[in-house]
Structures are given as C-alpha cells and as structure tokens.
Chain A
C-alpha cells in the first residue's frame, strides 16, 4: 500500500536541490543543475550589476557567478572555499549560483508546493515560485530564469 502510494507520488514528483543562504533554505529544480563545485575566486567584471560576482574558469569556459545572497537581498558574506557554486543551465546560458551550502535533494509533488504567501517583499515575489514545508522549516522554491543577469546588450 505504502509502496504503491510512493510510486504514484514519484511519477509526478520532481527533484529539487536544497541549499542554504544565511538562515534561509531555498531549492531549485534539479533538471537545471549541471554540477556543483566549490568556490574559487572570481574575476570581477566592470560595469556589472552588484549581484554578479565575476567570472570563473569552468574547464575552459568563462562562467559568470551570481551571488544569490545579494540577488535575493540577503546579507552578503565574503565567500570562502566552503561556499558552493551551483552551475545551472537556462536557455543556452550557463551560470554559477553562489550559495552558502548545498544541503539536500528533495522529491516534491506539485501539490506539496504552496503558493508564495502574500508578503510585501518585491524580491520574494519576483524569485520565489512557491514554498514547501519541511518539518518545522520552510523552503522557498526559486525560479531560475529571473535569477540570471539579463543578457547585457551591446551599448557601444
């Protein structure tokens, strides 16, 4: 009985990678994730938005790194080797997301994701697709597309 139930659940369920930034927990769809690597110092880009940490070398490719803490308006801490970069792919673009630590892989059915509670925070409404209750913790499900820097058009 229990087995049958779980099979039904997994057929619709998706996997998510959960990670911490400060005291909060977030997750993103695992299908977008290419790999997870440790933080290495990035080369800053001039004229870049403040949430773009710079670019790093990903096996020969130049990879921009987005500081998720800054992007989500949270307190930014100086990254160390213990911080993680989640490499995600979206619409042909590959970008690294800097987070404090990756914690878990979650399997969630669509109905487990509740709509984002009405809060005043602009950032919460822009990036959070929904929330999930995990024990006494709340995990925010992020949409990746909005997190990435807009492709900068050639102004020159």
Chain B
C-alpha cells in the first residue's frame, strides 16, 4: 500500500471514531445535556474531520463540515440555543456527514440533494450567513477580510504557473483568537515555513495592550515572514491549510507584476487595523494561548535551526497516545497461536500424567503454573478482541431516525448497556440483523401516532435496545411498546403459505416464532423500509451463524421483544468433557445446570419409548445422547449412566444421558463447516489433549429435537 493510501485509511478510521463521538455527543445534547464539555466534544469531533478532510482535499466534505462547525461554534458560544429542533437538525447533519465521509472513502458521491437540504438548514440556523469565518462574524473587519481572500486567490492563479526555481515570498500572518482556541500554534507553522527554505521572521507586537488590559486568551501578534524557497506557492499555503479560517493570511511573491504590488498596497490599510479582535466578547474555553514574550523570540531570529530546536522541546511534551491500531489479522493470528498453545499445553500435561509422574513432582507443578499462565495469556488476548457494542448501537439510532421520518412516526430509542463488551467479530456481524430488526420494529411494531393515542399510549413510540452479560453470553434485546404480534394474522398467513397445517394446534409462543420461517413474507407489509428482500429468517440465520439464538415474546397491545443470545467469543468455550458410546464429547458448561445419577425409581416411561426423569418433583424429558447421535442402536439402562440436566436458550430443560464424565476444561472451538459441513446436534469440534478431535454438543438442537416433530423443522420468516 502506498503511504498516502495508508494515511488516508487512518484518516477514515479516525473519522469513524469521530463520527461515533459526534453522534453520542449530539444524542446527549438531545437528552437535554447542556454541559459545555459535551458541546465542546461535539465541536472537536467535527473540527478534526474538517482538518483531515482539508488535508486530503475532499472539498465537498470540507465545505459541509465547515458550515456544520460554524453552527456548533455558535452553540458553543451560547449564541444559538440547543433547542430540540436544532439538535434534530444537527443529528441529521451528522448522518449526512457520515454519508459524505463514506462517499469520500469509496470515491463515490453522497446524495447531493440531502447534503444541500441539511447545509441550507444549518445555514438558516446561522442566520442566513452560510460561509463566514467564525471570528469574522463578530469582528468588524470581516468585510475587509473577504476581498483580501479573493484577490489572493487570483494572485495564486497567476503566480503558480510561472513559478521560478526559487521565489521570494512575503507572508503576513495574523492569527485570530480562534486559531489558538483550536490548539494550533504559530510556532509550528513558522517552523514548517522554515523547512521550505530560508526565512526571516518579524513579529509585530504593536497591538499588545498594557498588561492590565491584556486578555490572556487574546491574539495580538502579527508576523511578517520573508521566505526564499523553491517550493511553489501552493505548498507554502498548504502549511496554513488547517488554520485558514482562523487567521488573516496573505502570501505574496516579491517579484510578481505591478498588479500585485497594487494589490499589496490595497492590503496595507487592513494590515494593522486597531485590534479587530473583539476578543473579550468571544467565549473560548480553550486554554491554548500564545505565551507572548517567549515564543516569538526564537522564530523571529534568522536561524531556522534554532527555531526548530526550540520547537522540538515543545513537541516532547505532547499528549501521550493511549491506544495503538493493530491490524485485525495480527490479533487473529495471535489468538490462533494461543489456541494451539492451549492444546499443546494440555497434551503435555496428559503425557506427564501418563508417564506416571506424581502430581507433586516438580515437572507437574511447573506444568500447573504453565497452565495458569497459558490461561492468563488466552484471556488477555481475547480481551484485545473484545469491543463494546456501542458503535453498533449508535448506528441504530440513525436507522430509527430514518425509518421514523419515512413512516411519519415519532420514535424514541433508549439504549442500555452499550458498554457491554463482546468479540469484535460478533460486534461486526451484529449490525445487519440488528438493523433489520430495528427497521421492522419501527415500521411494523410501533403503531401510527393516532392509533397509539386511541390505545391510550403516549404519542411517541419507544424502542429499547439493551445488552447484558448473562451466564457467559451476551443477551441483546430489541423491545418495542407497539401493538405486539397479530397472532391471528400470522397464523393465517402461515396456513395460507402451507407452512403449517390448518388444524395445527400451536401455542402463542409457537405462533410468534412462525415469523422466523423461511417463506413467511406478508405481501401487504412489504414497504420500502422493511421489505428489502430480507426476512426474519435471514436475521435468524445470521444470528445462528454466530452461534446465537433468537427468540421473540409478544404481548398484544403492549409490544414485542426480540431477544438474542450470543457467545462472547467465537474462539474458546468452557466445556464438560464426557464419554458417550466410547466417543468423547464436549458439552458447553453454560448449558449445564446440574449432574444427576439417575435412580431406577425416578425414571418413568411416557408413551412409547419416551422417558422422563423426576428431579425434586418435576419431570424432565430424558434424552440418550448416544442414541440421538447414532453411536448405539439399543437404548441402554439409564441407571448405569450419568444425566446432565441442561437448559436450552429458550429455557427448555432436558436431561442428557451420557456414559461418564471425564472432567471440565476450556476448549478451543474449531469449525467443522470449513472442511465438512454442519452436523445436526453438533455445534463445532475441538482438539483434546491427546491430539484427537472431539465434537462439541449443540445442546439446543438436541433439546429441540423431540419438539421439532410437532412443528415443521424450523422457523425463520419475513416481516410480521
């Protein structure tokens, strides 16, 4: 990858982060948080995007961001109140901004119409002044400033093509207070100029008021730089690219024609206006201020080297980077290696115990320590991949806004537990199914305002998105307070489509779950929002592919809740190692409630062949794992076996009969699908200490099996 592309990529990564910051800040503002820090955080996010976008020449983006930034600046300076209407516009502006960033990244272009609408709305907030320098607006000289800007552009046009080998430039640079407020520093700019060629710098200190009148955060200095360089004018200007809105800058080539001299003369009067900076009335919270007497001493002498040395000192005290960016592939490779290490370590332990060494021997003790360390390393490595679900959740708030405005509904998204961490892969692959569910909930779940009022509910619908850790898994819920599932209709559709027989006797739960059936798509509900060819069956499959389960519960008139349970990681699992029919199997520990020794009197026959086991006066179906997996043909006597009482994700309990329990162990999950395919009743495979492959039991599939005969095999579906 060429270096430019790499830097660009970093810029876009940072943009993503800034957009997340921006949106979360705006959402807090929408919730009535009028803390200045929040506004500042939002402002900073927009400002950083502007800076980077300018550097890469994404003009469309810069133009929009500038308007956006100016609006935010007004709010920051309390000139514009952050009313709900304003924050709504800002939120939509952030959506547009995200689109623009994406367009810039993918080289396409954003929906110009939408950009225009929002840009106009923002401009309207600014009081009809679309492109104004933020300081210019409050200071008198803004009108003087504009023509300077334009005439210099024309200089630039003339100047560049005839750029000689070396050129003398005269730069006049007068920072406004905003430049310091945005943590830019004149010293660095001057040093950058020094790198281009020979410079001599003069500082005009005439505007510095008496100490008693001096505003510590004010800007009083003006520099004139004579630069002799072979660099074209554009390169000289690029140095000021980040600050061009916050300063007065003129760049002249000393040897351009008379026209320019004339222009230069016309500039003179504006060059030293009596402190145009009405500094005092400018808010400005930032601390960046020019340490007046010391810092211009260095650059104003004639030696760039000295200036550089001085500047280097300043750089050393820069902010410490708290995070690093690492390529995901590297982390994955590390995780795989640690997985191998765990297997190898287990193998080693087994060999040692086979060799007859006592557990007290120094080798065995050393191995125990190694095991502890291996586990710690594994946990730490997994933690690298763990990510909060927040970014995905935040993306949903946009989906809600869009769908709500398209359907003319008013919906509020409440988020809960966004900081819950889960494996990055899970986070990434959660976006699509979640987006679809959110769309569905807003489009179909929540009723129209008039229906809501008629039902005695608040006009604004509420959508709750929550994440929690529950017994080693992450549970994500999407709950709406809408009308709930229309069971009669769902049932009718399923019958019409031949998904269930007309006389099927289904529980409410089973009817609700019909919407997950493939082919369940209600033509009447296909709208341009939900009806994008993605049914709930696709959602279900996406969740299942992550090793998760999805279920729905619905109360008519009160709303529906989709609940997804996902593994925290796709790499390791705590399991109970058991023997069934001479084979070694692993049962996920999270599913196991307790282990039982079946007694003859507690096992009862129910119907033909089915058996239940009584535990503390409840009867639980008894399933012979060996028979289900066809390891043996003959049912065997339960009393000779061990029963594992397990609970599936849906809450169904079951007792699994196994021959013996070997122990408990953390295993590395290996896909069976890569080289073979899915096996019913088996979730994945792993490699045990002896180097052999053991299969990991899919408890839910095993538990669901007896029930599967009642309803057609499985149930995915389209929109409700």
Contacts and interface: CB of A to CB of B under 8 A. Distances in A.
A149 B631 CA distance: 20
A18 interface: no
Interface in A42-96: 42-48, 52, 54-57, 60-64, 93-95
B599 interface: no
A120 interface: no
A55 B685 contact: yes
Given A57-B692, A60-B339, A46 B675 contact: no
Contacts of A56: 692-693
B671 A152 contact: no
Contact of B680 (A43, A94, A95, A155): A155
Given A61-B674, A151-B676, A154-B677, 6 more contacts: A55-B676, A60-B343, A62-B687, A64-B676, A155-B678, A156-B701
Given A46-B629, A46-B630, A156-B714, A62 B693 contact: yes
Contact of B713 (A41, A44, A153, A156): A156
12 contacts: A40-B692, A43-B694, A43-B695, A44-B583, A44-B631, A47-B630, A48-B679, A55-B693, A57-B693, A153-B677, A153-B678, A156-B701
B670 interface: yes
A95 to B, nearest CB: 6
A44 B685 CA distance: 12
A149 B676 contact: yes
A46 B679 contact: yes
B340 interface: yes
Given A45-B676, A47-B680, A153-B677, A60 B583 contact: no
For chain B, give the interface size range: 20 to 34
A51 to B, nearest CB: 13
Nearest to A63: B675
B675 A95 contact: yes
Contacts of A151: 676-677
Contacts of B693: 42-43, 54-57, 62
B691 interface: yes
Name the residue in A42, A63, A152 with the highest tally of chain B Cβ atoms < 10 Å from its Cβ: A152
B675 A94 contact: yes
Nearest to B704: A156
B535 interface: no
Contacts of A44: 583, 631
A43 B582 CA distance: 10
B86 interface: no
Interface in B32-91: none
Contacts of B675: 61-64, 93-95
A45 B679 contact: yes
For chain A, give the interface size range: 20 to 34
Contacts of B208: none
Nearest to B672: A62
B676 A46 contact: no
B422 interface: no
A43 B583 contact: yes
Interface in B671-720: 671-672, 674-682, 685, 687, 691-695, 701, 713-714
Interface string A138-156: 0000000000011111111
Contacts of A54: 693
Contacts of B691: 40, 57
A154 B687 contact: no
B570 to A, nearest CB: 15
A76 to B, nearest CB: 18
A123 B305 CA distance: 84
B677 A149 contact: yes
A152 B677 contact: yes
Given A57-B691, A62-B685, A152 B340 contact: no
A63 B692 CA distance: 11
Contacts of B713: 155-156
Contacts of B339: 60
Nearest to A41: B692
A60 B343 CA distance: 9
Given A55-B685, A60-B687, A46 B678 contact: no
Kindly list the 6 A-B residue pairs having the minimum CB-CB distance in the complex, ordered from nearest. Answer: A152-B677, A46-B629, A154-B678, A43-B693, A64-B676, A62-B685
Nearest to B685: A62
Contacts of A150: 677
Contacts of B629: 46-47
Contacts of B694: 43
B677 A156 contact: no
A89 B672 CA distance: 16
Contacts of A94: 674-675
Contacts of B678: 152-156
A156 B707 CA distance: 13
A43 B714 contact: no
A55 B681 contact: no
Contacts of A46: 628-631, 679-682, 695
A57 B687 contact: yes
B451 to A, nearest CB: 38
Nearest to A52: B676
Interface string B287-331: 000000000000000000000000000000000000000000000
